[in-house]
Amino acid sequence: MMIFLFLLFSCITFHLYKLIFQNRSCCYLLHYECYKATDDRKVDAETCAKIVMRNKNLGPQEQRLILQTMVRSGLGDETYCPRNILEGREAAPTLSDSLSEIDDITFDTLDALFAKTKISPTDIDILVVNVSLFSPAPSLTSRVVNTYKMREGIKTFNISGMGCSATIVAIDLVQQLFKTHNKALAIVVSTESLGPNWYCGKESSMLVASCLCRSGGCSMLLTSNGSFKGKSVMKLNQLVRTHLGADDDAYNCCIKTEDKLGHQGFLLTKGLSRATSIAFTLNLKVLIPKILPGKDLLLYVFHSYSRNRAKDSTVAIPSSIEEAGGGISLKAGIEHFCIHPGVRALIDGVGKSLGLDDYDLEPSRMALHRFGNTAAAGVWYVLGYMEAKKRLKRGDRILMIGYGAGFKCNSCVWEVTRDLTGGNVWEDCIDSYPLPTVNVSPFLGMFG
């Protein structure tokens, strides 16, 4: 009973705070631009097979694991790959390869962003670049400043090691800076460096990441200037970050390391599923009181209390991602869901946890099929699908959920400020989606 009263009081206090203070510091999204590589970098089933088979360290068992992963992944055969991998140089990437890969994504999206918004690079006050696995000197932010000749007073931040949830970390940094920088313009660039980080060993727990990750990225323009509200596409309402780094199992479940032969790669342990479930559960406990109306919040509190009593524990630890949400429906406070398109099983698990249907999960499933796991930029390809399908109407609320090494679960809620109808990177293929059945993998016919 005390827990119930405490949560009820917290809910009432939060809504009063929101009513009084929410307009003091705003974060508006003016535009976002996703990256789409050229057709010569597409990776079909046959090309994937060639990349796998030329790894001389793999035996039949490891080859079988990779092909099974590809068949079950949910990826299509039109995703994109770095040039050095397509050219067979993944075992010996150069610094030039690394810089070229990031430059293509960063400057392609920023050029389009500046052109479409008519904002000059010299007007930007804050610049954040997040690339987890590549951090050269000078920094990537300095590379952007030099290319566009940005002004001397710009505040720059280079984020690395944050994994697939880094884009929400970057947005949180921007919104915190907006509290002390009125009428500021900020750029966030989210992408990943795949070319120099391709795993060429044979450890099964390190092979999966290379099977799923593909080239992609996104640049966003945000502002704290209320006069831009009419030109904005979305407004940030909530943002919640959960970090399990203090737990050794969670910290080590998704980590870059070396195998016994000295090959570097990303290790995914059996503890990843449990870490994801716990992080998601804890994140929801903070987020749900901020987004659900009173009636639905009371139902959530009652359900959580009952579940905790049934498990004879003050904090019920879910055994899987499907149980993390406890079956609670967020649709009273959220219209659209951008779930990180990392792998099909994760999308389906989160969907089951939150009671989502095929319509809700369609954007994430299709983004995974068309573009693959594009790391921190993935949620923006999901958003692009919704916009291209003309789903997003003024007043709609969008939940973005991302997971990353550390281990982290980050989420944010956007409110659409005007009807969105842009085609973006989906323009030339949106009429082909949704697929009749996304469960039929293009790799199945070749490798099944």
Bond prior to 138 in cis (omega within 30° of 0): yes
**Tokens matching residue 165:** 């949830």
- Within 10 angstroms of residue 207's Cβ, the number of other Cβ atoms is 22
381 HSE (CA, 13 A, CB side): 30
Catalytic residue among 158, 373, 410, 424: 373
Catalytic residue among 31, 336, 409, 412: 336
Catalytic residue among 48, 211, 369, 409: 369
243 annotated active-site? yes
What is the C-alpha to C-alpha distance for residues 63 and 58, in angstroms, rounded to an integer?
6
Strand locations in 293-383 (E): 336-339
263 annotated active-site? no
Catalytic residue among 26, 164, 213, 338: 164
Contact assessment for residue 380 and residue 218, using Cβ atoms and an 8 Å cutoff:
yes
Catalytic residue among 84, 211, 340, 410: 340
| Closest by Cα among 372, 357, 347, 276 to 70 | 372
What DSSP state is assigned to residue 200? -
340 annotated active-site? yes
**Tokens matching residue 13:** 């206090």
164 annotated active-site? yes
Chain Cα centroid distance, residue 337? 12
| Closest by Cα among 111, 117, 116, 115 to 189 | 111
**Tokens matching residue 193:** 């460096």
Instruction: Give the Cα-Cα-Cα angle 101, 106, 107 (nearest 5 degrees).
Output: 105
Contact assessment for residue 149 and residue 119, using Cβ atoms and an 8 Å cutoff:
no
Catalytic residue among 48, 211, 243, 412: 243
**Beta bridge partners of residue 32, listed in sequence order:** 220
What DSSP state is assigned to residue 312? T
What DSSP state is assigned to residue 373? B
What is the C-alpha to C-alpha distance for residues 281 and 288, in angstroms, rounded to an integer?
10
Helix (H) or strand (E) holding 361: helix 358-371
Contact assessment for residue 344 and residue 368, using Cβ atoms and an 8 Å cutoff:
yes
| Closest by Cα among 217, 236, 232 to 166 | 217
**Tokens matching residue 406:** 């550390």
Q: Where does residue 1 rank: exposed (0-12), middle (13-18), buried (19+ CB within 10 A)?
A: exposed
Catalytic residues: 164, 243, 336, 340, 369, 373
